[in-house]
Chains A and B, each alone.
Chain A
Amino acid sequence: MDWFLQQLINGLALGSIYALIALGYTMVYGVLRFINFAHSDVLMLGAFSAYFLAPAVEKIIPLPSIAGALIIVLLSAVICAGIGMLIEFLAYRPLRSRPKLTVLITAIGVSLFIEFTCQHPAVLGADTKSFPRLLVENDLHLGGLVIGSNDLVIVATTLLLLAGLWFIVQHTKTGTAMRAVSFNQQAAALMGININRIIAFTFGLGSALAAVAGILYAMKAPGIDPLMGVQPGLRAFVAAVLGGIGNLPGAALGGLLLGLLETYAGGTPGLSNYRDGIAFAILILILLFKPAGLLGKATVEKV
């Protein structure tokens, strides 16, 4: 029983991070209908922004502290929002009217460009760097259970951001415009919506969430490196598909499910070696049996 609950806690924390990343994939897919491969690298840049900001912030506010962590997270989110919008402007906007495949290949190119530029010794270097401690870490002991304070922070942050995102999308003018663009770009443009502005905003918002997810992921991981975003990025993409891509609650649900499944599999002897493959096996199964995802609606393609 203890084992079961312990894995539940670990799985929820991991799943929350996947959910945050998956939201970015789903939002971009919603408005532009393509997979933004570079999203996982924005996550990595978020973690590195925090890594470089931490010593600077520490001069003003001592770390680890809540105020210091908040400032670092906010600044990293702003930086990554800018990077996300820049990527959209430079690489994706010129291709807006081209076939989907062209955009997909470009996205892979952008992702590789960020990864390998950062791996270059003159930029970040390929070696693993240890992430600074942003918050005081305490373990809560409940019976036989150990709950890390970081895990609580991760789950709480995710819930807060989910609520914020839900509010933006459902109750603001920009959110309504986002939904309109996602529904029908041409019609939205005819209604006087500035498509470019909305798409840029979507990229910015998704990238900011990715930055936060990257920092949360780095707090759990032993170290950060330029390729750290690849695995969680792929998993989060699977989560987005699992929940029904383009669907915000679906992305959150998919992230949590995937995090839980992976943690339980990782804790099971015999299965643990295969945990890297589990996400993809789920992906293939879900696409075979329910291609629209758990919460998605099936669509028919016409000529």
Chain B
Amino acid sequence: MNGAKRWLIAGIILAVVISQFTGAFNRYYLGITIDIGINIILAVSLNLINGHTGQFSLGHAGFMAVGGYSAAKFTLVCAQMVPESLHPLLFLVALILGGLLAAVAGLLVGVPSLRLRGDYLAIVTLGFGEIIRVIVQNMESVGAASGLKGIPKDTTLGWTFALAAVTIYVVASLVNSTYGRGFIAVSDDEVAASSMGINPVRYKVTAFVIGAFFAGIAGGLYAHHKQFLSPTGFDFFKSIDIVVMVILGGMGRTVGVIMAAILLTILPEFLREFADYRMIIYSLLIITLMIARPQGLFTFGKKKGAVA
């Protein structure tokens, strides 16, 4: 058993223990803490695509929508058929189902990435996210434009942080494995990597599928946390939110990205009265970071091959 696995098990146990005491939490703080966990999953999974593999995806909200809507629809349909005692199991099945469907969507986006890179791929993923939004907006079975209501409140602190721990573990150990060095090679120089016998296509598609899977899980958690889904909640600006976390944290730096996810979830709560300025501040942050510190805010020292 290596160090990472020990951390993973410790993280999951901690999450389960804490979730036993959530009754004592203030509902407002509990909600924000769950938001933080969901955003960590989203940012870490996008970091695998954007950071580690160096493909710029602008459609993460689309994967989140696929996972969220399918998980929510699944629990809504099955809740009556299954006895109350089995509901946590049902929720887990719903999350995994959402994740798998999002992974299929990731595979579909991964296919254009066979031939595209850089800004072309960015615009394709953006378009893909928009297509998902338009489809959801026209599907009567998930409430179309008015949204999907009445989703059971199954997301707990324990579930969220246990799954965040799993996400971090999977992404970090994947990137640090022998296989995972391929992601970094592809990110550093695709043409050079392929001339060294690495198949960039396989790595790029793998990154999309795994990233999308966890985004789908996050979508399922989000759906069962907010109890309401609407197509506008998964638009371009939601994707940008996640992208900003990855950029701020430093592309390819898992710890930095987690810190950025926490910071960018809490900060808007403090700035509630300046809500009009939130996106202005975000955009200025992006521009200034890119000009002055493109490696991200939470990165110190030289980037090494291994990233954890």
- Which A positions have Cβ atoms within 8 angstroms of B? 34-35, 91, 94-95, 98, 100-106, 108-113, 115-117, 119-121, 230, 234, 237-238, 241, 273-274, 276-277, 279-281, 283-284, 287-288, 291, 301-303
Q: Are A110 and B111 in contact (CB under 8 A)?
A: no
Residue of chain A at shortest CB distance from B127: A280
Give 19 A-B contacts (CB < 8 Å), ordered by A residue: A34-B119, A91-B287, A104-B119, A105-B56, A105-B243, A105-B247, A108-B286, A109-B285, A112-B279, A112-B286, A119-B276, A273-B138, A274-B134, A276-B130, A280-B127, A283-B123, A283-B127, A288-B115, A302-B191
Q: Are A121 and B294 in contact (CB under 8 A)?
A: no
> Is B131 an interface position by the 8 A CB rule?
yes
CB within 8 Å for A109 and B290 given contacts A104-B122, A303-B195: yes
How many chain B residues sit at the interface, stated as a range, is 35 or more
- Which B positions have Cβ atoms within 8 angstroms of A? 54, 56, 58, 111-112, 115-116, 118-120, 122-124, 126-128, 130-131, 134-135, 137-138, 189, 191-192, 195, 236, 240, 243, 247, 276-277, 279-280, 282-287, 290-291, 294
Residues of A within 8 A of B138 (CB): 273-274
Q: Are B284 and A113 in contact (CB under 8 A)?
A: yes
Partner of B112, one of A120, A230, A237, A288: A288
- Looking at A119, A121, A280, A288, the one whose CB has the most chain B CB atoms below 10 A away is A280
Q: Are A287 and B280 in contact (CB under 8 A)?
A: no
Residues of A within 8 A of B135 (CB): 274, 277
Q: Are A121 and B276 in contact (CB under 8 A)?
A: yes
In the complex the two chains form, what is the Cα distance from A283 to B243 in whole Å?
22
In the complex the two chains form, what is the Cα distance from A200 to B191 in whole Å?
32
Partner of B280, one of A98, A120, A238: A120
13 new A-B contacts, CB < 8 A, other than A34-B119, A105-B247, A119-B279, are A35-B119, A104-B56, A106-B290, A110-B287, A112-B282, A113-B284, A120-B277, A230-B236, A273-B138, A281-B127, A284-B128, A288-B111, A291-B120
In the complex the two chains form, what is the Cα distance from A287 to B134 in whole Å?
20
B186 to chain A, nearest CB (A): 14
Residues of A within 8 A of B283 (CB): 109-113, 116
In the complex the two chains form, what is the Cα distance from A116 to B285 in whole Å?
13
CB within 8 Å for A284 and B247 given contacts A95-B290, A117-B280, A302-B191: no
Q: Are B134 and A276 in contact (CB under 8 A)?
A: yes
Q: Are A303 and B291 in contact (CB under 8 A)?
A: no
Residue of chain B at shortest CB distance from A277: B134
Interface of B is mostly: helix
Residue of chain A at shortest CB distance from B237: A112
Residues of B within 8 A of A241 (CB): 120, 123
A231 to chain B, nearest CB (A): 10
Residues of A within 8 A of B123 (CB): 35, 237, 241, 283
B250 to chain A, nearest CB (A): 13
Q: Are B291 and A101 in contact (CB under 8 A)?
A: no
Partner of A284, one of B124, B191, B291: B124
B230 to chain A, nearest CB (A): 16
Residues of B within 8 A of A91 (CB): 287, 291
Residues of A within 8 A of B137 (CB): 273
Q: Are A303 and B191 in contact (CB under 8 A)?
A: yes
Residues of B within 8 A of A284 (CB): 112, 124, 127-128
Residues of A within 8 A of B243 (CB): 105, 108
In the complex the two chains form, what is the Cα distance from A276 to B236 in whole Å?
14
In the complex the two chains form, what is the Cα distance from A112 to B244 in whole Å?
12
In the complex the two chains form, what is the Cα distance from A116 to B277 in whole Å?
8
Residues of B within 8 A of A108 (CB): 58, 240, 243, 286
Residues of A within 8 A of B291 (CB): 91, 94-95, 106
Residue of chain B at shortest CB distance from A280: B127
B240 to chain A, nearest CB (A): 7
Residue of chain A at shortest CB distance from B111: A288
In the complex the two chains form, what is the Cα distance from A291 to B138 in whole Å?
30
Partner of A100, one of B118, B276, B282: B118
Q: Are A303 and B189 in contact (CB under 8 A)?
A: yes
A27 to chain B, nearest CB (A): 15
Partner of A109, one of B56, B128, B287: B287
In the complex the two chains form, what is the Cα distance from A117 to B280 in whole Å?
6
Residues of B within 8 A of A102 (CB): 290, 294
- Looking at A104, A108, A241, the one whose CB has the most chain B CB atoms below 10 A away is A108
Residues of A within 8 A of B127 (CB): 234, 238, 279-281, 283-284
